[in-house]
């Protein structure tokens, strides 16, 4: 998978790295080429658009890391965009937090690999996690499918709910739950019926099973070879079933990769596993870093840029902590903080973890930082002269009117920002006095993260 995408992007990066300096136009062109490559890989258009917006923002952001070659920065921007598309760096673990048995429900179209994947999961849970696992087949329409799961259960060495002819899917679900409970199973995997196409009967049956079995995980199994059809299937299932995650099969095949790259962004659901072959061992935990690495094949560069960025952040954090200890927190510093907050996806969550900074947290919450307000606030600050940013006290009515016009905001918003800045500066000053070194260490950590 991703072969042609990888080829195209590698070619692009090779050409870029041959050049020393990249103009804004070069970067724009490079990103346009990435866009075409993603579309050719069958990534859904809205997802590509989202990617482009984010990439452009990163490329024009002020975080130019001098220690890193421009071409390498482009690699990192594309890497970050892919990670974002795939739902973030950290794999989402399988959730088994339920009063036993933790029920895992498998849904999907016929032939998607649902039954095989059930067995793969069962094997992983029993072998690696030492869980006591039972599987049950609810595919009443296809006796062969029931037999197939039974054979697979024997093969991977887990229990299988005996087949009782004539029972409905919901009856089987009830019987499975009861059996698993009485016999002390940790996990119960329910393999539901699939059809070749989506239909109402299939959906309502699946919804009814979910209601009865109350699964902690409800997975949609989808075939990555079917590309955007897999994405549409996932969306349709998600409308009817409270899905908790996706499993993509045939990741070992030669799909262009569009399904895998679009799934998360389109459905909002995490991809939790990848099926990577016909064997029962062939199930991988989904790891966005691995996927992005496979697409880009530039692991060293990504690590290098990350390290440089970290060093830059650390140097900034130290300088910031020093300034704040002296009570010098000017509007440039606030703008820098706002940018960092946006990068980190919100400061207030991080601050909430630190003891003794409740007041500062509250003030940051009051800033009400969404991406939009962030942009407006940074626009206000960048519309000021250097002197105004250092000494906000000089801001009289006419200066404020000029800034308001420049930033496209009301004077009221400027006043609000100034007031909040003053409060933050005071709080930081007071913190540094009352808590001494400990508090400063916390601040450094807070801004350096």
| Distant-in-sequence contacts of 225-231, Cβ < 8 A, 24+ apart | 225/250, 225/253, 225/255, 226/259, 227/42, 227/255, 227/256, 227/258, 227/259, 228/42, 228/44, 228/258, 228/259, 228/262, 230/259, 230/263, 231/44, 231/258, 231/259, 231/262, 231/263, 231/266, 231/267
Q: Name the closest residue to ligand GDP (Cβ).
A: 275
Residue 275 sits at φ, ψ, to 5 deg, of -85, 130
Question: Is residue 420 a contact residue for ligand GDP (CB under 6 A)?
Answer: no
Q: Is 108 in the site for ligand GDP (CB under 6 A)?
A: yes
Which residue number, 272 or 389, has a Cβ lying nearer to ligand GDP? Answer: 272
137 binds ligand GDP (CB under 6 A): no
218 annotated among ligand-binding-site residues = no
Written as six digits, the tokens of 162 are 């005996």
Residue linked to tokens 């409270």: 242
**Which residue stretches of 214-257 are H helix?**
228-240
The DSSP call for residue 163 is P
CA distance 269 to 266: 8
Which listed range, 23-31, 46-54, 212-220, 277-285, lies at the site for ligand GDP (CB under 6 A)?
277-285
Q: Does 278 bind ligand GDP (CB under 6 A)?
A: yes
Based on CB atoms, which residue is closest to ligand GDP, 250 or 361? 250
Q: Is 275 in the site for ligand GDP (CB under 6 A)?
A: yes
Give dist(CA 418, CA 179) in Å, integer. 65
Say whether 114 counts as a known binding-site residue: yes
For ligand GDP (CB under 6 A), the number of binding residues is 18
276 binds ligand GDP (CB under 6 A): yes
Token duo for residue 51: 């990617």
Angle at 93 between CA 91 and CA 99, to 5 degrees: 170
176 or 431: whose CB is closer to ligand GDP? 176
Instruction: Tell me if 113 is assigned to a ligand binding site.
Output: yes
121 binds ligand GDP (CB under 6 A): no
Which one of the spans 104-112, 335-343, 354-362, 431-439 is the region binding ligand GDP (CB under 6 A)? 104-112
Instruction: Kindly tell me which residue out of 37, 44, 116, 226 binds ligand GDP, with binding defined by CB under 6 A.
Output: 116
- Under the binding rule (CB under 6 A), the answer on residue 438 touching ligand GDP is no
Hey, what are 412's tokens? 């009221």
Helix (H) or strand (E) holding 179: helix 169-182
Question: Which pair of tokens denotes residue 408?
Answer: 């496209």
Q: How many whole angstroms separate alpha carbon 341 and alpha carbon 140?
A: 53
Interface mask (CB under 6 A) for ligand GDP, residues 183-202, using x and -?
Answer: -----------x--------
**Residue found by looking up tokens 């942009």 in the block:** 375
Kindly state the smallest distance separating residue 86's Cβ from ligand GDP, in Å.
Answer: 18
Stretch that binds ligand GDP, among 90-98, 107-115, 261-269, 317-325 (CB under 6 A): 107-115
Give me the phi and psi of 193, to 5 degrees please. -70, 145
69 binds ligand GDP (CB under 6 A): no
Q: Provide the minimum distance between the beta carbon of 241 and ligand GDP in the complex, in angstroms, as a whole number.
A: 16
Q: Does 124 bind ligand GDP (CB under 6 A)?
A: no
Residue with tokens 């440089």: 308
By the rule CB under 6 A, 306 interacts with ligand GDP: no
**What is the contact mask toward ligand GDP in residues 252 to 271, using x (rule: CB under 6 A)?**
xx------------------
227 binds ligand GDP (CB under 6 A): no
Binding-site residue positions for GTP: 108-115, 191-195, 249-252
Binding-site residue positions: 108-115, 191-195, 249-252
Residues that bind ligand GDP (CB under 6 A): 108, 110-116, 194, 249-250, 252-253, 275-278, 282
């Amino acid at each position: 998978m991703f072969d042609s995408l990888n080829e195209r992007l590698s070619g692009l990066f090779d050409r870029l790295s041959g050049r020393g300096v990249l103009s804004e136009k070069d970067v724009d062109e490079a990103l346009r080429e990435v866009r075409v490559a993603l579309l050719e890989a069958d990534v859904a258009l809205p997802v590509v658009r989202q990617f482009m917006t984010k990439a452009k923002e990163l490329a024009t952001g002020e975080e130019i890391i001098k220690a890193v070659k421009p071409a390498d920065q482009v690699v990192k921007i594309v890497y970050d965009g892919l990670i974002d598309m795939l739902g973030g760096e950290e794999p989402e673990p399988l959730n088994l937090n339920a009063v036993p048995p933790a029920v895992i429900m498998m849904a999907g179209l016929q032939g998607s690999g649902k039954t095989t994947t059930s067995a793969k999961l069962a094997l992983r849970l029993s072998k690696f996690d030492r869980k006591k696992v039972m599987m049950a087949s609810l595919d009443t329409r296809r006796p062969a499918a029931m037999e197939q799961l039974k054979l697979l259960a024997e093969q991977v060495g887990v229990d299988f709910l005996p087949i009782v002819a004539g029972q409905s899917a919901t009856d089987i679900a009830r019987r499975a739950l009861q059996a698993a409970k009485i016999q002390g199973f940790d996990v119960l995997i329910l393999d539901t019926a699939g059809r070749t196409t989506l239909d109402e009967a299939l959906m309502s049956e699946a919804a009814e099973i979910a209601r009865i079995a109350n699964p902690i995980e409800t997975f949609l199994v989808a075939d990555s070879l079917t590309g955007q059809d897999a994405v549409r299937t996932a969306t349709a299932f998600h409308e009817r079933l409270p899905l908790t995650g996706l499993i993509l099969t045939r990741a070992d095949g030669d799909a262009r990769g569009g399904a895998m790259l679009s799934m998360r962004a389109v459905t909002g659901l995490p991809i939790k596993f990848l099926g990577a072959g016909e064997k029962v061992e062939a199930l991988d935990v989904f790891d966005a870093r691995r996927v992005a690495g496979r697409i880009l094949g530039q692991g060293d560069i990504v690590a290098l840029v990350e390290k440089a960025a970290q060093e830059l952040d650390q140097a900034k954090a130290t300088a910031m902590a020093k300034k704040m200890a002296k009570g010098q927190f000017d509007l440039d510093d606030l703008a820098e903080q706002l940018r960092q907050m946006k990068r980190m996806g919100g400061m207030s969550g991080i601050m909430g973890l630190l003891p003794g900074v409740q007041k500062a947290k509250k003030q940051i919450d009051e800033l009400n930082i969404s991406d939009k307000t962030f942009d407006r606030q940074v626009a206000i600050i960048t519309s000021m002269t250097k002197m105004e940013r250092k000494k906000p006290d000089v801001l009289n009515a006419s200066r404020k009117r000029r800034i308001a016009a420049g930033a496209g905001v009301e004077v009221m918003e400027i006043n609000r920002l100034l007031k909040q800045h003053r409060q933050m500066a005071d709080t930081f000053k007071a913190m540094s006095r009352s808590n001494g070194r400990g508090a400063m260490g916390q601040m450094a950590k807070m801004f350096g993260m």
